[in-house]
Structure 1
Amino acid sequence: MFFLASMSPFQAFLAVGGVVLTSLYLYRRQISWQLSQRIVSALKSDSTSRKRDSSWITAFFCHFERKLNNLIFERDSYISTLDALKEAVIRTDAHGKIVAVNQACTQLFNCEESSLIGADYDLCQRAIEAPEDHVDFADILEKLNQYERRQKHYKSIFHVDMNNAVLAIERQVSPIYDKYQTFIGTAVVLRDVTKAEKLRQRLRFQANHDNVTRLFNRYKFDQRLTDAWHDAIDNDLQHGLLQIDMDRFKLINDNAGHAAGDQLLRDVAGVIRQSVRDTDVCARTGGDEFAVLLYDVDVESVQTIMNKLNTELKLLPFSYAGQVFEIGASIGATLITSSSPPLTELKRQADAACFIAKNNGINGNQLFSQNDDQLMSLQQEPRWAARIHKALENDGFSLFYQAIHALDSDQEQKQHIEILLRLRSGEQLLSPNVFLPAVERFRLTDKVDFWVVSRTFEWFQQYPELWHKQVIAINLSGDSITNEGFISKVLACHQQYQFPADAICFEITETAAIGDMQKARQMVDRLREVGFNIALDDFGKGFSTFSYLKSLPAQYIKIDGSYVEEILTSESDHSIVKAIATMAKTMEMKTIAEFVQNQDTINVLNELGVDFVQGYGIATPKPLANYKEHYHIH
């Protein structure tokens, strides 16, 4: 700037004029309006002065240069800030023309900035999928130009086809006003939310679908079932509800592994989908349970679909790792009509029908009928559950016992009994066959089991003279033997008493142990560490018996009664009992034969090497409270 001092006044005037023009140009570019005003004002005052002070001009231009550099720095800072954002930012005028963009915008559109400046913003017209509340950009401009309809932001997510890829774009349009609150344009922020939208879609899918079969889950199915129930009542229509319970799934899952179990579930889901209409609703509602909602059907249609499902599932070829498995399912159904009961009762009807189908044999079906006494009885099981809760709270159960006799009394000096349970109902005592299905269905087994254990312990503590002469067998369900909390409660309960733990023998069913072998083994080990004995009940009834036997450290094997009842006439039953007795002796285990009815059976069992016998031919159940009288306890 020092060269201006040597200029003539005319040359200085031309230089100042050039600066003025430059400043005006910058003003048009919205960069330095205030600076141009200051220069014009300064020139006006200079024009009236006769004296040209070169030092003033030098100082003026130094100040001008600093201001200009500051403005350029601020502008570059703003541009750098916008370019640093990952979101695409677009500035439009009041007519929707693009006047400025950042680098993220050019990358999103895959084009140069020059091709966007001055163009109409039309990204919304490229939307290939948009929500119902999506507002077109032209409509936004129209609203923003109408003062009474303005709002601060317009935000939506829609899908666009961009660069041969479908992207999910979140768009936020914000109005820009001048100091007079005149609308002069918009700031549009675009975010590529494709990954986040895919995650949201996946979470929405997982919230409503089963991950293995891709069918609806219980939550979504219950929603559709509720709608169908209202539809039947409001419009006098008839729909069908099927409950499908797979047969042998646990066997396959345990023997072939969870991968095979999952593949079987997918195959079964495919059969179900193909056997019903596209408009019907299919769901996986539990581990091996499915449900189907059939719209607008009659009784014949429901029965036809159930028969078709049974046929298709029976013919389903399923093999895994060289093993071939036979598939089947038990199906229960009920109709949804204008006179149907509430949904809870409706589902109990389908559940009761499915239960009857399973009891009648594998791969069968049953339609619920109000005229079927057995179905109506099963439907009443929730009321049984309430009675059982009340019995647990008020000691409404009674303990019975049944004697177990040793065939070689010289080697076995201790007396053995098994604790049995009865439910008091007025003057009657109900056997477990009446209330146990409700106990199992409503998962009350651990509560009932602990009631039996705690009351037996309390009774046994009263007779120290029996502590070393008696072995008391107590049944535990599969839910109990795999329940860590239950086992902990049993151990804590025993610590309150002084009798030896080896006077107690816990019986667990073989099928319950197979259900979760690893957990059962852990819980059995905890019981044995204290000194409790273990008996494997109903031995031979389940699958893979002999291979699983070596996994459980049991002291007793109770041979399933189905083999004992016909042992006098069935060669196969005779051979099975003999094999079990021989194997037990090899493994240093004692055997107990159930359902013994007569002396001839006792003689055969004795010849086969069975150690103990139990059944109505030996002794009938008696109240535990009277045990003192029968065994002369002093």
Structure 2
Amino acid sequence: GDSASLDRAHVDTLSALNDAFPQDLAERIHQELENFEEADFVWRLEKVSGHRWLRVQAQKTDTGHDVSLTDITALKQAEHHLIHESQHDRLTGALNRHGLEKRLEALLNEHETLDQVSLCYIDLDRFKVLNDVFGHQAGDTVLVDVVRRLRSRLGEHAEIARMGGDEFAVLLNGKEPPHRLLAYRALDAIAGRPFVIAPKRFAVTASVGMSPALRGQTSSQLIDRADNACREAKRKGRNQVVIFQDGEQEGERQRHQVEMDVLDRLRRTKEFRDFELAIQPVVGLGESNRLGGEILLRHRTPDGTLRSPAGLIEAAIYRGEMATIDRWVLNETLRWLDRNERAFRALDFISLNLSAEALSDEAFKTYLLSQVRRYQQVAPKLVVEINETVAMQDGYMMKRLIGGLRQLGARAALDNVGGGFVNLSAIGEIGVAYLKIDGAFTESLVHQGAGQAVLRTLTVLAHELGIASVAKSVQSDLMLPALERIGVDYGQGQVLGAPMPLPEFEKLAGIAAGVEHSEAFVQPQVTPLAGRKAPQQDIAHTDALEPRHR
């Protein structure tokens, strides 16, 4: 029963002890009494209706044995619940960091099977934007669904842990399938199909780092290695898997320290001496001589090299400095346009890709409109690029922002279209002037992938809505005839022009620095760019396939 004292018996002989209790329990009592003359231990009693936990107390007497059994099942269940709570995330039901460390400690001590253990570290990309736009309840729904998807896709091969916020870990334990394959499955489980918070559908991508376990490692060391690989995946552009390689840790540590030093200096001085602007041409296709460009941000490292700022931007987002950087990029771009107002009259546009964090910040959007108003004479040349995912997360607010830009003469472009499961019916309503199609669909032209149909559909849709189409990631001359047949208006990529310093773009546009230009400015002839190799610039950049200022 459930009473505190289940039973108390006095037995005279060992045979009577065996008769009074199950054999294995009777033998344990007898053994304890033989060794210590009294016993006090916990016993799990298996019953048809389930198991019970008993506290067994016994002692020898002159005439036999006194045995007392107390049902402590409720106490053990409460104890188990507390242990479970201390090792699991309350929201998702996954392990928490403490629970993962406990599991790792046990597995890392089993040297014979250590080669079967790896750890993946997963960070959801730009999850803060989703939280800011939809609210924390929607964000929590996505977090729960992430764990459900990982469990469903990885099955018995993995244990899932939530490390805090939007970060997860996957403990892989087993020989088959290969852990590298499971890491890619984990990424596909998250990014392979949209999340749904009715009536909206939106994409969530992730950066995944994986590290195999090594002999002599602690749980913290293995977690740190996987986390470093995840950071590298973010630095390389997000939405990918990076496997930790020995020898890379010191370089990653030094790079991370440089990034932190830059941000600390920026916070103290508000000086941007570590940053420079570059630009990549956006070229009209076919018989067109149209020319535009996209502003890019570059980080000048201590050795003087210009590099992609991807890792620096991730650190800025983490430390809440992204709006500061975006304001500087916006102001520098507008001042540059203002200085070259007369010379740039024949250009179609100069576009600026603002970060998702800035575009979800109402104070920044107010600042954006005020600066465009300040430089309203060059506003018709400015195009603000808005990532498809950001735009579709809150179409109403983006429509208001784009409307405000249009009133001032500026325009907007929807970026990475097709990569985030865009609601096609919403494109015409949001008011953009340009559709920048995700580079994956352009790349499909080379290997005859199914993405060609998507590229064609998006181009036709854009034209029907009076929107110009831009193909990204044009990396081969072989792509150009196909893009022209489809009717794409502009192309952007290495074969049409590599990222370059601003003064070189001025020359490309037919501007000689310091030379006064007449009103009869000659429209630049940019078609030859498509027929020659892009010039090598003195800019080291790692994001040529997906150029961004962020």
Shared fold, TM over 0.5? yes
Q: Distance in 2 between matches of 1:625 and 1:311?
A: 42
Distance in structure 2 (CA, Å) of the matches to 1:358 and 1:485 = 27
Rate the CA distance shift 1:222–1:627 in 2: closer, same or farther, 3 A.
same
How does 1:50-69 map onto structure 2 within 5 Å?
none
Contact residue 150 and residue 189 of structure 2 kept, 8 A:
no
Aligned to 1:447: 324
Cα pair distance change 1:518/1:265, threshold 3 Å: farther
CA-CA distance at 1:585 after TM superposition? 0.6
**What is residue 92 of structure 2 aligned with on the other side?**
213
Written as runs of structure 1 = structure 2, the 5 A alignment for 1:146-185 is none
Please give the alpha-carbon distance, in whole angstroms, between the structure 2 residues aligned to 1:612 and 1:586.
Answer: 16
**What one-letter code is carried by the residue in structure 1 that aligns with 2:339?**
Q
**Is residue 285 of structure 1 aligned with residue 168 of structure 2?**
no
How far off its partner does 1:506 sit? 1.1
User: RMSD over aligned Cα, in angstroms?
Assistant: 5.7
State the secondary structure of the residue aligned to 2:342.
Answer: helix
Query: How many corresponding residue pairs?
Result: 406
| Partner AA of 2:92 in structure 1 | T
Q: Map of 1:563-582 to 2, 5 A cutoff?
A: 563-567=441-445, 570=448, 572-582=450-460
What per-residue deviation string (whole Å, max 9, x for no partner) do you get for residues 138-162 of structure 1? xxxxxxxxxxxxxxxxxxxxxxxxx
Higher share of residues assigned helix: 1
Contact 2:300 2:307 in 1 (8 A): yes
1:401 aligns with 2:279: yes
| Larger relative contact order (Cα-Cα within 8 Å, sequence gap ≥ 6) | 2
Match runs of 1:251-330 below 5 Å: 261=142, 264-265=145-146, 267=148, 283-286=161-164, 288-291=166-169, 330=208
1:531 partnered with 2:412: no
Instruction: Give 1:417's match in structure 2, choosing from 293, 297, 300.
Output: 293
Quick one: which of 225, 233, 254 aligns to 1:349? Answer: 225
What's 1:487 paired with? 365
Distance 1:529 1:335, change over 3 A: farther
Aligned equivalent of 1:147: none
Q: Distance in 1 between matches of 2:299 and 2:150?
A: 41
Distance 2:487 2:356 in 1: 29
Distance, in Å, in 2 between the alignment partners of 1:363 and 1:336 is: 26
Aligned to 1:554: 432
| CA radius of gyration, larger in | 1
Distance across 2 between alignment mates of 1:242 and 1:259: 24
CA contact (8 A) 1:558 1:593 kept: yes
How many Å apart are 1:586 and its aligned residue? Answer: 0.7
Corresponding residue for 1:475? Answer: 353
Cα contact 2:280–2:499 (8 A) shared by 1: yes
Matches within 5 A, 1:326-337: 330=208, 332-333=210-211
In the TM superposition, residue 242 of structure 1 has moved relative to its aligned partner by 4.5
| Match among 252, 257, 260 for residue 386 of structure 1 | 260
2:305 to 428, 448, 472: 428
SS of the residue 1:604 aligns to: helix
Q: How many Å apart are 1:458 and its aligned residue?
A: 1.8
Structure 1 segments unaligned to the other structure (5+ residues): 1-125, 127-204, 233-237, 295-299
Per the alignment, in what secondary structure is the counterpart of residue 430 of structure 2? coil
Partner-residue secondary structure (3-state), 2:459: helix
Q: Percent identity, aligned pairs only?
A: 24
The 3 A distance-change label for structure 1 pair 520 and 465 is same
Cα gap change, 1:356 to 1:619, in 2 (>3 Å): closer
Per the TM alignment, residue 562 of structure 1 is displaced from its structure 2 partner at its CA by 3.0
Which shows bigger deviation, 570-579 or 478-487?
570-579
CA contact (8 A) 1:332 1:355 kept: no
- Cα distance in 2 between the residues matched to 1:329 and 1:534: 28
In 1, Cα distance between equivalents of 2:294 and 2:189 = 44
Once residues 261 and 332 of structure 1 are traced to their aligned partners in structure 2, the CA distance between those partners, rounded to angstroms, is 23
Q: CA deviation at 1:308?
A: 12
Structure 1's 469 and 331: CA in aligned 2 closer, same or farther, altered over 3 A? closer
- Contact (CA 8 Å) 1:554, 1:589: kept in 2 or not? yes
Question: Is 1:481–1:523's contact at 8 Å kept on the other side of the alignment?
Answer: no
Contact 2:297 2:309 (C-alpha < 8 Å) held by counterparts:
yes
Alignment of 1:119-198 (within 5 A): none
Structure 2: give runs of 5+ residues left out of the alignment. Answer: 5-83, 109-113, 517-550
Tell me the alpha carbon deviations over residues 490-547 of structure 1, each in whole angstroms, 9 at most, x when there is no partner.
2333344352422210112323434555554454444444332111222223324635
Partner amino acid for 1:493?
Answer: Q
1:401 touches 1:621 (CA, 8 Å); kept in 2? yes
Task: Look up the match of 2:122.
Answer: 245
1:507 aligned residue: 385
Could you state the TM-score of these two structures normalised by the residue count of structure 1?
0.49
Counterpart secondary structure, 2:488: coil
* Match of residue 51 from structure 2: none
Q: In structure 2, give the amino acid aligned to 1:353.
A: A
